[in-house]
Amino acid sequence: MTATAQPTDVAYRGPYGLSEEQELFKRTVHEFAEREIVPVAHDLDEKEEFPRATISKMAELGLLGLLVPDEYGGAGVSTLEYVLAMEEISWADASHSVVISVNNSLVCEPILRFGTSEQKRRFLPALAGGEYVGAYCLSEPTSGSDASNMSTMAVREGDHYVLNGTKSWITNGGESGVYLVYAVTDTSVARARGITAFLVPAETPGLRFGAKEKKLGIRASSTTQVFFEDCRVPHDLVLGNVDEGFRIAMATLDGGRIGIGAQALGIAQRAVDESMRYSKDREAFGHAIADFQGLQWRMADMATRIEAARLLIYRAARMKDAGTPFSQQASMAKLFASETAMFCAHAAVQMFGGYGFVRDYPVEKLFRDAKITEIYEGTSEIQRLVISRHLLRE
């Protein structure tokens, strides 16, 4: 799959300033998602089954290595195109898009930015080609928002580190080929200055996985605890510099948040699309319910919020592509888009009435899936904290 980077001149077309190639790319991903993912999403959610077959198809389309350059087997597209793909896959199913999100922005991107050339050659082609997916292991049972307060330890023994500890809520847990793990390497300094990032291959002795969490939403994705019991990791699998892992973790999440914003946007767009269709068909009091002003206003509010979320997300992606600081804009995009997803999914369930409350119709799943976007990669409260810190610093 190819798509060119956003032109820097004013050759913008359409309301979002996408080039023709980007519009085509978005449409291609949408058609793929509608054809391959929509028909299986409901069933996978019901069975809480990891979508291996469709992940392979996403890999064939280049969706697992969107940000990975061609030389490592990726599609080598920009962050903007990455979010276009996230939006369209999420429109079909958020359990599929969370795999794309973690693989691209939480695993491939830090390897690209901070990895040695040997680490890039070893892991990126496999991650981009779908040989395996990756996982990002930061959260622990007693540290989530306060991520640097972790307990997992890595102690140096000769040319290895020995890892011990437990990571929680790990997306792709038990399904990944490589785990990007953050552990404390220096207890004599403030935690944020004594954490190191490690690339831990799945076959490493001492690596164990808990049972799949029973979740409210994104039920087809795998979320598990990951246990490290005297896990010996060679020094050459340290990602970046020793004791500088927390910086990697935070920089990685800045980029990831734009992708989660796009996930929320896709869910919100699907909610409005389903609502529009249903409201034209469903009749009450001798009218299609779309004729009632109460519903029309609700749809107008949904569509307006979606437009605003889309503009925030595309702006943050463009800032990242341009190399300008984007942390505040990424948080704003994720915060607004995730609250928009909740607003739209809630409105959609209401518009469907009783049919919104049952699993035979798609909006019930959207309502459940939307919630996670307000929680992972930093809760809405943490996004507000990030935004206000930037404001107060200015």
Ligand X SMILES: Cc1cc2nc3c(=O)[nH]c(=O)nc-3n(C[C@H](O)[C@H](O)[C@H](O)COP(=O)(O)OP(=O)(O)OC[C@H]3O[C@@H](n4cnc5c(N)ncnc54)[C@H](O)[C@@H]3O)c2cc1C
User: Per rule CB under 6 A, is residue 139 in the interface with ligand X?
Assistant: yes
Report, in Å, the least distance between residue 379 CB and ligand X. 3
Catalytic positions, please? 377
Q: Which of 54, 255, 376, 383 binds ligand X (CB under 6 A)?
A: 376
CA-closest candidate to residue 262, choices 26, 52, 8, 31 = 26
User: Which tokens sit at 92?
Assistant: 């079909």
User: Which tokens sit at 223?
Assistant: 């979320």
Rounded Cα gap, residues 248 and 111, in angstroms: 10
Rounded Cα gap, residues 111 and 74, in angstroms: 13
Q: Which of 22, 166, 171, 196 binds ligand X (CB under 6 A)?
A: 171
- Nearest residue to ligand X, using CB? 144
Q: Would you give the DSSP letter of residue 96?
A: H
Residue range at the interface with ligand X (CB under 6 A); choices 58-66, 86-94, 349-357, 372-380: 372-380
C-beta of 153 vs 303, nearer to ligand X: 153
Q: Tokens 């699907």, residue? A: 270
User: Per rule CB under 6 A, is residue 370 in the interface with ligand X?
Assistant: no
User: Concatenated DSSP letters for 124-177?
Assistant: HHHHHHTS-EEEEE--BTTBSSSTTS---EEEEETTEEEEEEEEEEEETTTTEE
User: Concatenated DSSP letters for 36-87?
Assistant: IIHHHHHHHHHHT---HHHHHHHHHTTGGGTTS-GGGTS----HHHHHHHHH
Residue range at the interface with ligand X (CB under 6 A); choices 77-85, 137-145, 234-242, 351-359: 137-145
Q: What angle do CA 364, 366, 369 make, to 5 degrees?
A: 115
Q: Tokens 């300033």, residue? A: 17
Q: Which of 17, 69, 125, 144 binds ligand X (CB under 6 A)?
A: 144
Residue range at the interface with ligand X (CB under 6 A); choices 234-242, 255-263, 273-281, 378-386: 378-386
Report, in Å, the least distance between residue 17 CB and ligand X. 31
C-beta of 311 vs 385, nearer to ligand X: 385
Rounded Cα gap, residues 282 and 353, in angstroms: 10
User: Per rule CB under 6 A, is residue 372 in the interface with ligand X?
Assistant: yes
C-beta of 79 vs 148, nearer to ligand X: 148
Binding mask 218-247 for ligand X (x = CB under 6 A): x----x------------------------
Residue range at the interface with ligand X (CB under 6 A); choices 82-90, 131-139, 199-207, 341-349: 131-139
The pairing of beta strand 287-288 with beta strand 283-284 = antiparallel
Rounded Cα gap, residues 49 and 71, in angstroms: 33
C-beta of 64 vs 290, nearer to ligand X: 64
Q: Which of 29, 58, 67, 137 binds ligand X (CB under 6 A)?
A: 137
User: Per rule CB under 6 A, is residue 328 in the interface with ligand X?
Assistant: no
Site for ligand X in 179-218 (CB under 6 A): 215, 218
Q: Which of 121, 277, 381, 389 binds ligand X (CB under 6 A)?
A: 381
How many beta carbons lie within 10 A of that of residue 10, not counting itself? 6
User: Per rule CB under 6 A, is residue 103 in the interface with ligand X?
Assistant: no
User: Which tokens sit at 95?
Assistant: 């359990």
Site for ligand X in 30-89 (CB under 6 A): none
Q: Using CB under 6 A, list all residues that contact ligand X.
A: 102, 136-139, 144-145, 169-171, 215, 218, 223, 372, 375-379, 381-382, 385
